A = this chain, B = another copy of it.
Amino acid sequence: MGLKPSQPEDPAQAATRRHLLEAASEVFAEVGFRAATVREICQRAEANIAAVNYHFGDKEHLYRAVLKETCRTALEKYPADFGLPPKATPEQRLRAFVHSFLLRIFSQGPGSRHGKLMAREMVEPTGALDAIVKEDVGPMAAVLTSIVGDLLGSSADADKKRLCGMSVVSQVLFYHHCRPVVTRLFPTMKFDAAGIEQLAEHITQFSLAAFKEISKGKKK
């Protein structure tokens, strides 16, 4: 029932699908899965109320498609080595990783609901998360671990590298996740391009400082 032939790729069908995905990512990001209504999504996509069922089966499958799609797009637009020279130092790679990460989750506008959607997924994980972690988050974590390994020196064990990696990532995510509190506490903070660059700089320096001191201690 409602099975969609995936091969022929009718351009008209594809357009409706795309509008639906875009509208859905908007609504899901704004109000979450539960509160989102199929009616609202279809209205924004200028599609019929039955379009969701026809193209995606049901609301949940639409959500999964949206989550996967926004993840893919965001990682394509802001990869871990965003704007990095070929032979970069570990310090440069860390800075790029942090900056790209910040841009990725704070970027707004069409096709950029990745941050909001993932934050909601953290609070209320759905079955869609497993695939995301395996396919997208895992590789990202590997990249970071490699950078952290270079900075800590070969003496660091796997556990320490993991924890230090998370100490970096946590600082990035914090500003997105706790934005409601941060803006209330410090109304002067801005999250525009300049503000994000300052944030990236602080996080990088803070982390590099920690790594330096830690590796120094380890060596002795």
Q: Chain B residues with Cβ under 8 A from A209's Cβ?
A: 209-214, 217
With the chains together, A138 CA to B186 CA distance in Å? 10
Are B167 and A171 interface neighbours, CB within 8 A?
A: yes
Q: Residue A123 at the B interface, CB < 8 A?
A: yes
**Taking each of A133, A137, A138, A174, which has the highest tally of chain B beta carbons within 10 Å of its own beta carbon?**
A174
CB distance from A122 to the nearest CB of B (A): 6
Q: Residue A163 at the B interface, CB < 8 A?
A: yes
Name the residue of chain B whose CB is nearest to the CB of A125: B180
Q: Chain B residues with Cβ under 8 A from A59's Cβ?
A: none
CB distance from A46 to the nearest CB of B (A): 13
With the chains together, A123 CA to B210 CA distance in Å? 30
Q: Chain B residues with Cβ under 8 A from A137's Cβ?
A: 181, 184-185
Are B167 and A173 interface neighbours, CB within 8 A?
A: no
Q: Residue A91 at the B interface, CB < 8 A?
A: no
Are A122 and B167 interface neighbours, CB within 8 A?
A: no
Name the residue of chain B whose CB is nearest to the CB of A172: B170
CB distance from A70 to the nearest CB of B (A): 16
Q: Residue A124 at the B interface, CB < 8 A?
A: yes
Are B171 and A130 interface neighbours, CB within 8 A?
A: no
CB distance from A48 to the nearest CB of B (A): 12
- Among the listed B122, B133, B206, which residue makes an inter-chain contact with A214, where contact means beta carbons less than 8 Å apart? B206
Q: Interface size on A (CB < 8 Å)?
A: 53
Binds B, one of A13-21, A32-40, A76-84: A32-40
Q: Chain B residues with Cβ under 8 A from A213's Cβ?
A: 209-210, 212-213
CB distance from A157 to the nearest CB of B (A): 12
Given A137-B181, A181-B129, A213-B209, the answer on whether A167 and B203 have CB atoms closer than 8 Å is yes
20 pairs, CB–CB < 8 Å, chain A vs chain B: A1-B39, A123-B123, A129-B180, A129-B181, A130-B184, A133-B184, A134-B184, A141-B185, A162-B186, A166-B171, A167-B171, A167-B203, A170-B170, A170-B178, A171-B171, A177-B177, A206-B214, A209-B209, A209-B210, A212-B213
